[in-house]
Amino acid sequence: MKKTYLFVAAAMAGVLLFAGVSLKPTAPYGFIKGTPQIKSITSLTFGPTGVLFIGDSQGAAIFAVDTKDTQKADAKAYDVQGIDAKIAESLGTTKESINITDIAVNPVSKKLYIAVKNTDGTPLLLTLNSNNQIQNVSLKNVEFSTVALNDAPPAPADATDRNANQKRVSSISDMEYADGKLMVSGLSNKEFSSSFRAINFPFTGKQEDEASLEMYHTSHGRYETTSPIRTFSTTTIDGKKYVVASYTCTPLVLFAMDELKPGAHVKGRTIAEMGNMNTPSDMIWLKENGQNYLVMANTARPAVKVSYDDIKNFQGSLTQPVPGSGGTNFTKLPYEKILQIDKLDDNRAVVIQRKANGSVDLWTSDGKNI
């Protein structure tokens, strides 16, 4: 029996050394110290205090990193014109050589985290402090844990969709943390590939099967099981928890959380169509005049807001083609081509927008129209 223990310990040490980490775990989330092997940063979201989840679509893995960024601070407005050019300058390159892939506001420190990809594919993590100063976040010798996605699409060169897009890129399309679980939308390698995962945190190394999703796409006029959710959030209606999700071209769909069980096939309820030839980029909940609104950013159409009451009160499901828009009432906001958005506080959002003159600007909403 002692020989068996020694063999297992040696094997574990070899695996950890190969990953560039030390063997000793650290509290409180079973983190290890070392350098996570992150191939891409396609999605960011915060979990417990100071813990940043990094979605790596290319590597089909998720990393939880202890940022040590735990000092509470008041939310101050961010305002940087030409944020892409400023980031590029800080990296010693040009704005044409980078792509901002996601942003996340630390809900405690209110510091803004920005994921960037170089044209050579190198992922970078930056922060913007309250003085609008750009700083690099080192991911070397940090405390972290990781979980690999089961049933992920094959490597990029091996699988594309009908539009020749690499399926692996959509293995993680969005993430949100709540109630001790990291919720992840994206694609799997199964026949019904639109997937939703609820992964326990701290990560245990074990992962239950993902749920597969089906919804009626009102712009395409058909039920679909292979289109990934592009962005989602959660809400509670009459004591029941729901995922509120949006897809390309742009239906809004509700999924009951209690149905999203491991291995289940779940049909959503389409409650709105917001227009085709468009991709939703982000959605968050904000308050305006005491009312809760879902705010959704779009890459081609104006951003929209939908009142919680309208979502709650909409009955039935859209199951016929909808020309233009229809279903739940929504209001178009005076902002187009919003690339990224995240919640700064209950009333304000941090926004990255491509302006009409081509400038990519970062700004903070005033709590009135977004």
Pairing of strands 222-224, 231-237: unpaired
Q: Residue 5 — pLDDT band, cuts 50, 70, 90? A: very low
Q: What's the pTM?
A: 0.90
pLDDT at residue 339 in the model:
96
Residue 14 has pLDDT above 70, yes or no: no
- What is the model's pLDDT at position 165? 59
Angle, vertex CA 187, rays to CA 158 and CA 272, nearest 5: 135
3-state helix, strand, coil in the chain (%, to 5): 10, 40, 45
Which H or E element spans position 8? helix 2-18
Residue 369 pLDDT? 73
**Average model confidence (pLDDT) across the chain:** 90
Among 263, 252, 168, smallest CA distance to 207 is for: 263
108-109-111-114 Cα dihedral, nearest 10 degrees = -50
Tell me the chain's radius of gyration from C-alpha atoms: 21
What's residue 211's pLDDT?
98
**pLDDT category, 156, cuts 50, 70, 90?**
low
Strand order, beta sheet including 142-148 = 32-34, 142-148, 61-66, 51-56, 43-46
Amino acid identity, position 54: I
Rounded to an integer, the average pLDDT of 17-40 is: 73
Across 259-287, b (16+ Cβ under 10 Å) vs e yields ebeeeeebbbbbbbbbbbebbbbbbbebe
* Alpha-carbon gap, residue 100 to 225, rounded angstroms: 29
pLDDT of residue 368: 76
Run of H or E residues at 76:
none
Residue located via tokens 């292979």:
226
Residue at token pair 């099981």: 225
pLDDT (0 to 100) of residue 129: 87
User: Which tens digits make up the pLDDT trace of 262-296?
Assistant: 999 999 999 999 999 999 999 999 999 999 999 99
**pLDDT for the residue 163:** 52
Tell me how far apart the alpha carbons of residues 310 and 355 are, in angstroms, rounded to a whole number: 30
DSSP character at residue 158: G
Give the span between the Cα atoms of 360 and 337, in whole angstroms: 10
d(CA 195, CA 213): 6
Q: Coil, strand, or helix at residue 313?
A: helix
Q: Among 166-175, 185-194, 236-245, whose mean pLDDT is lowest?
A: 166-175
- Report phi then psi at 126, rounded to 5: -125, 165
Q: How many CB atoms lie within 10 A of CB 355?
A: 14
Q: Are 125 and 113 in contact (CB under 8 A)?
A: yes
